[in-house]
Amino acid sequence: MHEFEVREEIPLDATPEQVWEAIATGPGVDSWFMGRNELDPERTAMTVGAHTTRATVTAWEPAKRLAYRTDANPDGTFMAFEYMIEGRGGGTTVLRLVHSGFLGDDWRDQYDALSVGDGVYLRKLAAYLKYFPGRIARFNMQLAGPVVEDEQFAWEAFKAAAGISGPAELGSRGTLYGGGPGVVEWLHAPTFLGFRTDDGLFMFIHGWTRNLVVQYHCFSAEVDQAKTELTWQNWLDEFR
């Protein structure tokens, strides 16, 4: 096993109470993270596909601090998360994250992914709190596609899906595949592209498993979930 630690810090346009709702309630976490989440002062559970990760809460201080540690795997690996919330003036907050634990034999690839991914997800949280405050995602989509080894090919595919013909930068605008206009809200080229529309938040991922992944948090009652999932599954299937 290999011990690791990742530290992140981000300013948020939200009060400590709003940040707490986003990180310490199931519907709040569902609105920006991944999978289906359940949290209470004792236990947490995150289900992605057919897999559920459970954890024990080790700190529960509303609007101040949340910490939990996942149940250990048979090989002894586990992860621990600590969120520290500090209110600032003008209804803003600084959120600090410490992500630690022990990784297994493929620890280098996992650590490289976590050291980038943690910050990326916090930027997605920031976009959620800024543009959809007080709202809960009506549905969440996470679709995994085929393995694509070529990073640049995957990045160009993500740009095309967002309707971006030139370089993808913060603020780049495009028309989403099968949808409407939007803007690049966060990114880490060539593995993460975050795109905001009027209806929600998309993220395109080419992670350490090399699969293409599409995430979507929808905040509109007018978007058809089944049609949306079929549209993006068809898009992913084009790369098989």
Q: Which two tokens stand for residue 217?
A: 């948090």
Helices in the chain by DSSP H: which ranges? 16-24, 26-30, 107-131, 151-161, 225-237
Domain that holds residue 7: 2-131
Domain boundary at 77, 109, 131, which? 131
Taking only the tens place, the pLDDT of each residue in 10-56 is 999 999 999 999 999 999 999 999 999 999 999 999 998 889 999 99
For residues 113 and 150, membership in a common domain is answered with no
Does the pLDDT of residue 207 top 90, yes or no? Answer: no
Taking only the tens place, the pLDDT of each residue in 167-196 is 999 999 999 998 899 999 999 999 999 999
CA 134/CA 144 separation, integer angstroms: 29
Contact at 8 Å (CB) between 207 and 111? no
Predicted confidence at residue 93, as pLDDT, reads 98
Contact at 8 Å (CB) between 232 and 223? no
Predicted confidence at residue 178, as pLDDT, reads 87
* Extended strands (E) in 41-117: 43-48, 51-61, 65-70, 78-88, 92-103
For residues 84 and 143, membership in a common domain is answered with no
Beta bridge partners of residue 67, listed in sequence order: 59, 82
For residues 7 and 104, membership in a common domain is answered with yes
For residues 109 and 160, membership in a common domain is answered with no
Average pLDDT, the chain: 96
The label of the residue with tokens 């709003």 reads 18
For residues 100 and 151, membership in a common domain is answered with no
CATH code, domain with 89: 3.30.530.20
Predicted confidence at residue 107, as pLDDT, reads 84
For residues 204 and 228, membership in a common domain is answered with yes
Q: Please tell me the total count of domains within the chain.
A: 2
pTM more than 0.85: yes
Residues 6+ apart with CB under 8 A from 72: 78
For residues 118 and 170, membership in a common domain is answered with no
Domain boundary at 131, 166, 191, which? 131
For residues 70 and 17, membership in a common domain is answered with yes
Contact at 8 Å (CB) between 228 and 220? no
For residues 145 and 185, membership in a common domain is answered with yes
Rg (CA), the chain: 18
For residues 10 and 127, membership in a common domain is answered with yes
DSSP tag of 1: -
Taking only the tens place, the pLDDT of each residue in 88-130 is 989 999 999 999 999 988 788 889 999 999 999 999 999 999 9
Question: pLDDT band for position 138 (50/70/90)?
Answer: very high
Taking only the tens place, the pLDDT of each residue in 56-89 is 999 999 999 999 999 999 999 999 999 999 999 8
CA torsion through residues 102, 47, 134, 216, sign:
positive
For residues 7 and 120, membership in a common domain is answered with yes
Domain boundary at 97, 131, 165, which? 131
For residues 180 and 97, membership in a common domain is answered with no
Inter-CA distances, 138 with 27, 141, 200, 216, 219, Å: 9, 10, 10, 11, 5
